[in-house]
Structure 1
Amino acid sequence: MTASARLSEFVVKTALDDCPRSGLVQVRRAALDTLGVMLAGAREPAARIVREVARAEGATPVCTVVGTRLRTAPTWAALANGVAGHAHDFDDTSFALMGHPSVPLLATALACAEAEMADGRAVALAYVVGFEVSAALGAALNPGHYQRGWHATSTLGTLGCAAAAARGLSLDLAQTRHALGLAASLASGLKENFGSMTKPYHAGHAARNGVLAAALAREGFTASDSALDGPQGYVTAFGEAASLGAALDGLGQRWHLVETGVAVKPYPSCALTHSSIDALIDLRRRHALRPEQIAAIEVGVTRVTAGVLVYPAPATALERKFSMQFCAAAAVVDGRLDFASFEDGDVRDPAIRALMPKVTMVVDDTLSERLAEHAWSRVTVRLTDGRVLTTPPRGATGHPDRPLSVEALYQKFLACASTAIPNEEAAAIAEQLDHLEEIPDIRALTSRLAGDVE
């Protein structure tokens, strides 16, 4: 049986009740976090540009573009919501995927559910099968796939979104195989574009192409059954996957939603900066650190991290999200990183500008390169009085082993949502998402997601 056929069996035959209850809790948490960052991202330039093009296309007004009054075709809504959700780089991550699962998957699931006038269970199930497919592929192909330069949010996420859309549009086994095969040819996304608008585009790209692949397959469009694992197929082109068979065998037996989970971000920057941000905020608090006391900051990181955080002197807000020098300096000076830290233009705070050259990032070969630990870091701060402060390697706040509390996640959602909709609407959305599977018509949720962002 080909990989496409095995994946299709899982996508078509899985029921929501097959997923462990703890996995469904993760789905609801992911939906709350994801819709919050979509609302917050609606005002960002990348999201605005996509909406302008969607309006110019004049597509049929079927689906909600979150945070706005725009309604458009499912593919355009998936693209627009995907870009908005990733615009702040504040959305969750999966260490199996080595990327961002929930924004593209929720953008896909909501577009399909609105188009089909489906219920909340359909959204939850589409998310579950899409998450498991993308995480299984990630577990098989990573870290080599990611280290080759591919942005897994898009390259692996396109397959996950095609799986989600296939389930959301009620495709049969044959149609689902064709959708996955077509998605294999639509998958793309380069890490070289990190620090630009194209990075958040990748999340929308995955969602849009997942919906497109499923919609075409439903109408009879075909693809090769061996598009994934054939000699000139997806796996060969995107990396070696000796463990592909084991990863696919585990579908429906092990659940990545439960075993590897997602990391919810406390800071709107690349997840690979978060361990060091946590450490420096902690040192600042415990030792009452002031910037003028610091002679040097050394951050030991994995090779994966060193290859991603490539902007020691960032020139834009988007580049700052991938700058260890900026994030470390801001953590010491401000004791926080939030939306205000990434307003566009030059770094204005002279204290941050002065501290950034004192921050160095080095590869620490003692750190684990395991998927669950590749984002860890070790921080050493040398003070002008000769003292040396260090922190042990650890996962950041929000890591599956250190999850955000229910209250912290709720407060993050409110802070994000309030940028586009009234607080009372945000609170009502949170209440609905706490019972996502019980929503009889998803339009009862999406109607609340329409805001006044142009």
Structure 2
Amino acid sequence: MASIEASETELTRYVAEFVAGTEAGDIPEDVVALGKKSILDGLGLALSGSVAKSGELVRRHLDDLGLEAGPATVIGGGRKVAPRFAAFANGVGIHADDYDDTQLAVAPDRVYGLLTHPTAPALPAALALAEQTGASGRAFMLAYHLGVEVECKIAEAIAPRHYQAGFHATATCGTFAAAAAAARLLGLDVGATRRALSIAGSQSAGLRENFGTMTKPFHAGRASESGVAAAQFASYGWTATGRVLEAPRGFFNAAGGGYDPGAIQGRLGAPWTFAEPGISIKPHPSGSLTHPGMTEMLRLIHEHGIAADQVSRVRVGTNSNMPNALIHHRPQDELQAKFSMEFCMAILLLDGRAGLAEFTDEAVRRPDVQAMIAKVDFGVDDEAEAAGYHKMTTLIEIELADGRTVTGRADFGKGSPANPMSYDEVADKFRENAGFAGVADRIAGELVQRVRDLELQTSVGALTERLLHAGR
């Protein structure tokens, strides 16, 4: 990789040079392996998301647009369209069940787990442009990694006010991810990549008030679509500022009120975010902030043999940023339940598991679930607050009818770098999600192997062909 120098006044140039100048051989083998897990995870989620209600509505939208056939696959949608619209559809699909991977944070004030879902905006853009350009699996993976790296470092750098005041970073920072991935696959030079990032910056948007609705996955889809469009317009010669990130009226200042230059300058690929601090893959289709508590609750249930009818009260304590996102305390549908600590604790106590089959409107409205939800108290705990926002410290106290009290604490959930899922475990999740979409076991197994061998694929065409009609 060419030597890249960064200064605060040339930050956007530095990012563009990284995107245009990094080669596949510059990515460490362990990072490539970690990326494959997230790619496989994302493809499986696009399949399961294609049969969600939002998937049906997205296909209706594509019909209403009157689109002609294009080069890019709508996963599980049985059609090919222009890259930007495939990116939109697949981005919505990946994020539809809130089951996709999550960035970790480094600094204690950077709100661990709240920053971005890296794959949902980056992967659809990379896949759509790789398919259009006939890129190899190796080139596709490079573009994906560049997108994720840019996205995560931008999210890590922006002042925490960005998220805390209501912006959804998957939507905002994810637009830059898609633009970076698309720019690389379109072969844009540094100047054009810089413009692509700037065009993306003017499209980055998304508000957390929409958490618990279809508009949350809409954010991811629109971020991916906007990034593709930004790179395409830059390739035409469309003009834009060269300082969209660092300028006084640029992204960091307008959307966050500032940023930490040391979190991004000279830090792209040094180290790669996949390597440090890492990216979490979810074992449950709910907001990432629920996962340490869910991991610990399952441990307590198994260790102490806790049955639902033994439970008198459950207290869950976290830092103050977690109730700021887990806003649905008495959920009435599956989307609200994904942002309800109370539901997540209740369904584990009652059913002993929390997968796609448990996150349904019917399950949420069950009388026994609603009664158990009422027994769960969720709020801020001083010990969890003191642990820092780069952790999702969760304290659990279960009062049992026989007078016993069972307690537990977790900083990290299953699937985090501290307790990772192996490729085979992610493959099991992929098969479950693919099966949810009606994909035959044989085809799912073939897709698992194709992703494992991505660097050997001369094009992504064989992969996308399987994804095109899978489950339909």
| Cα separation, 2, equivalents of 1:405 and 1:8 | 33
Structure 1 residue 346: Cα displacement: 6.5
- The answer on whether the counterparts of 2:103 and 2:279 sit within 8 Å (CA) in structure 1 is yes
Match of 2:248 in 1: 231
User: Normalised by the size of structure 1, how large is the TM-score?
Assistant: 0.96
| 1:259 lines up with 2:293 in the alignment | no
Shift in Å, 1:160: 1.4
Q: Is the partner of 1:25 in helix, strand or coil?
A: helix
User: Pick from 72, 80, 84: which aligns with 2:93?
Assistant: 84
Amino acid at match of 1:137: I
Give CA deviations for 1:255-299 in whole Å, capped at 9, x if unaligned: 111012211110111111111111111111112212221111010
Is contact 1:83–1:204 with CA below 8 Å preserved after alignment? Answer: yes
Please say which of residues 49-58 and 300-309 is displaced more in the overlay: 49-58
Residue in structure 2 matched with residue 450 of structure 1 by the alignment: 468
Residue 35 of structure 1 aligns with which residue? 43
Q: How does 1:326-341 map to 2 (within 5 A)?
A: 326-341=343-358
CA shift, 1:55, in A, is 2.4
Matched residue, 1:23:
31
Paired residues of 2:314 and 2:376 also in contact (CA < 8 A): yes
Query: Displacement of 1:351 after TM fit?
Result: 2.5
Is 1:358 the counterpart of 2:358 in the alignment? no
Asked if 1:2 is matched to 2:10, the reply is: yes
Residue pairs, 1:101-180, within 5 angstroms: 101-141=118-158, 143-180=160-197
Shift of 1:377: 0.7
How much does 1:342 deviate?
1.5
User: Displacement, 1:340?
Assistant: 1.3
Aligned counterpart, 1:295: 312
* 8 Å contact from structure 1 (residues 67, 421) kept in 2: no
Residues 136 and 248 of structure 1 are in contact (CA less than 8 Å); yes or no, is this contact kept in structure 2?
Answer: no
Instruction: List 4+ stretches of structure 1 deviating above 6 A.
Output: none
SS in 1 for 2:102: coil
For 2:450, give the aligned amino acid: Q
- 1:240, distance to aligned residue in structure 2 (A): 3.6
Q: Secondary structure at the match of 1:196?
A: coil
* Stretch of structure 1 that moved more, 417-426 or 100-109: 417-426
State which drifts further: 72-81 or 159-168. Answer: 159-168
Aligned pairs for 1:190-229 (under 5 A) are: 190-229=207-246
> C-alpha separation between the residues in 1 aligned to 2:35 and 2:422?
15
How far off its partner does 1:431 sit? 0.6
Q: Who is 1:382 aligned against?
A: 399
Distance in 1 (CA, whole Å) between partners of 2:55 and 2:422 is: 29
Q: How does 1:363-374 map to 2 (within 5 A)?
A: 363-367=380-384, 368=386, 370=388, 372-373=390-391
* Identical positions, percent: 38
Q: Does 1:434 align with 2:452?
A: yes
What is the alpha-carbon distance in structure 2 between the residues aligned to residue 114 and residue 174 of structure 1? 24
- Mapped to 1, the partners of 2:90 and 2:214 lie a distance apart of 14
How many Å separate the matches in 1 of 2:262 and 2:406? 46
Give how far 1:102 is off: 0.8
What is the CA–CA distance in structure 1 between the aligned matches of 2:263 and 2:408, rounded to whole Å?
Answer: 37
Runs of at least 5 residues in structure 1 that lack an aligned partner in the other structure: none
> Which position in structure 2 is the counterpart of 1:48?
56
Do the aligned partners of residues 346 and 128 (structure 1) sit closer, same or farther apart at CA in structure 2, a change above 3 Å counting?
closer
After alignment, is 337-346 or 384-393 more displaced?
Answer: 337-346
Question: What is the CA-CA distance between 1:246 and the residue it aligns to?
Answer: 4.4
Q: 2:420 aligns to what SS in structure 1?
A: coil
Residue aligning to 1:74? 83
Distance 1:216 1:86, change over 3 A: same
User: Which SS does the other structure have where 1:342 is aligned?
Assistant: coil
DSSP-derived class of the 1:105 partner: helix
- Structural RMSD (CA): 1.6
SS in 2 for 1:299: strand
Q: 2: distance between equivalents of 1:330 and 1:428?
A: 33
Amino acid at match of 2:152: A
Match of 2:108 in 1: none
Determine the C-alpha separation between the residues in 1 that align with 2:366 and 2:229: 45
Q: Equivalents in 1 of 2:15, 2:365: separation in Å? A: 50
Letter of the structure 1 residue corresponding to residue 469 of structure 2: G
Question: Which one-letter code corresponds to 2:149 in the other structure?
Answer: E
Does the CA-based 8 Å contact 1:62-1:73 persist in structure 2? yes
**Distance across 2 between alignment mates of 1:108 and 1:236:** 26
Distance 1:344 1:355, change over 3 A: closer
Aligned to 2:301: 284
Inter-partner Cα distance in structure 2 for 1:452 and 1:393: 38
Aligned counterparts of 1:76 and 1:140: Cα–Cα separation in 2: 30
Q: Which amino acid aligns with 1:210?
A: G
* Matched positions, count: 453
Check conservation: 1:98, 1:142, Cα contact below 8 A: no
Report how far residue 40 of structure 1 moved: 0.8
Task: For 1:240 and 1:399, locate their aligned partners in 2 and report how far apart those are by CA, in whole Å.
Answer: 30
What is the rounded CA distance, in whole Å, between the counterparts of 1:346 and 1:38 in structure 2?
23
